[in-house]
Amino acid sequence: MKAVVTVMLKQGVLDPQGAAVQSALGSMGFDGVSGVRQGKVIELELADGTSEAQVNEMCEKLLANTVIESYRVEMSAVGESA
């Protein structure tokens, strides 16, 4: 089975990568981009039967810095299209 973990900086935490992307898009002529936030996505291939609670534990302990980042877990069975 598969889990997709999305980790984003919490609201209010300065996101210099996002600000850099926003500035670059503006200077390339893409108007109307009023905000950019950049995060990371981690796709995990897991043994069948792995629970969402275990994936949450992975996030708390390793994948996300919960002081400044929030995370979201989506589980999917094998066979579903990615």
| Contacting positions for a copy of itself (CB under 8 A) | 6, 8, 18, 21, 24-25, 28, 30-47, 50, 54, 57-58, 61-63
Helix, strand, or coil (residue 71): strand
| Pick 27 or 67: Cβ nearer a copy of itself | 27
Taking the CA atoms of residue 46, residue 48, residue 54 and residue 56 in that order, the dihedral angle to the nearest 10 degrees is 60
> One-letter amino acid identity for 30?
F
| Pick 61 or 67: Cβ nearer a copy of itself | 61
| Pick 48 or 67: Cβ nearer a copy of itself | 48
Minimum distance from CB of 76 to a copy of itself (Å)? 14
Taking the CA atoms of residue 40, residue 42, residue 43 and residue 44 in that order, the dihedral angle to the nearest 10 degrees is -170
CA angle centred on 57, ends 53 and 61, rounded to 5°: 175
Minimum distance from CB of 25 to a copy of itself (Å)? 6
Minimum distance from CB of 67 to a copy of itself (Å)? 19
